[in-house]
Amino acid sequence: MPKVFRVHLALFIVSLIYAATFSIAKEVMPTFVKPMGLIGVRVWGAIILLWLTHAIFVREKIRDKKDYLELMKCAVFGVAANMLLFFKGLSITTPINGAILMVTTPLFVGFFSFFILKEKVSALKIIGLMLGLSGALLLLVGPTLSFSSATLSGDVMVMLNAIIYSYYLIIAKPLLHKYNPITVIKWTFLFGGIMILPFSIPELQEVNWAVIPSNIWASIVFLIVGATFLTYLLNGWALRHANSSLVGAYIYLQPILASIIAIILSKDELTWQKIVFGFLIFAGVYLVSLPATFPLLRRKD
């Protein structure tokens, strides 16, 4: 299987998992586990899986001590601040609001890529970002969309999360070229897990584990294994083999995949508008994935 196809497949799987996460996380919190407590379960469950996987398959050591500082930065932006803001924000706002705010992530990724990684910016890439954003926004805007004072604080948190996660995709890339993705992510999660403990422990102590039904336990397992362990590994591997803008652009797929899931579950219906908006999203991702053969903008040192 060609590497370019594997990169797109990995990113598609990540988008599919994240598309389901908005609704699945809302089933768990805040009724059974509050946001900060759920983050603790999610992160420390993933830490166990990451360290076991690394011990069995990788066993790579950090060769340069200064890289631990970079890993701590990744922990702040990729795990601690990112997850705390996202889950707390999602508990206040609606899944629709959360999804529409998250589709701004590729724009921030493109901005950081140009100024920090000095990636080339082509006209096609800009057009692709705009097409993807337009399709995602049109798909999401509807009668259920409501940015009100009741959800304002949650909306702000999700937006800040989008900016922070974009920055993480940028600063993690050099480390992912230097080390195996599992090595980078296991240390990132360990440092991030330690940072979130003061926020998670109080809410975890309030959980009545005995009354949690089996379907909610299944949702919790999905959030640990799928939405955390698997997505971070696949994103890390993809970042090693693709530009940051492409990885970010796949976030545009989340709204359309969420709609497909809803249609399968008979919670939504397929319309010609959704087909058109979906085409815009796929076209945008395709254009962003093209190499910048004729760059529109270059960074000059």
User: What is the average per-residue pLDDT within 94-106?
Assistant: 68
Q: How many domains does the chain have?
A: 1
Q: Flag whether pLDDT at 78 surpasses 50.
A: yes
**What is the pLDDT confidence band of residue 100, given thresholds at 50, 70 and 90?**
low
- Using the Cα atoms of residue 42, residue 47, residue 53 and residue 58 in order, give the sign of their dihedral: positive
Q: Which residue range is the domain that position 290 belongs to?
A: 3-297
Condensed to tens digits (0 to 9), the pLDDT of residues 174-219 reads 999 999 999 999 999 999 999 999 999 999 999 999 999 999 999 9
**Long-range contacts at 6-11 (CB < 8 A, ≥ 24 apart):** 7/238, 7/241, 7/242, 7/246, 8/289, 10/234, 10/235, 10/237, 10/238, 11/234, 11/235, 11/238, 11/242, 11/246, 11/247, 11/250
Condensed to tens digits (0 to 9), the pLDDT of residues 236-274 reads 999 888 877 778 778 778 777 877 776 776 655 666 766
User: What is the pLDDT, as a whole number, of residue 162?
Assistant: 82
**Of 13 and 131, which is predicted with more confidence?**
13
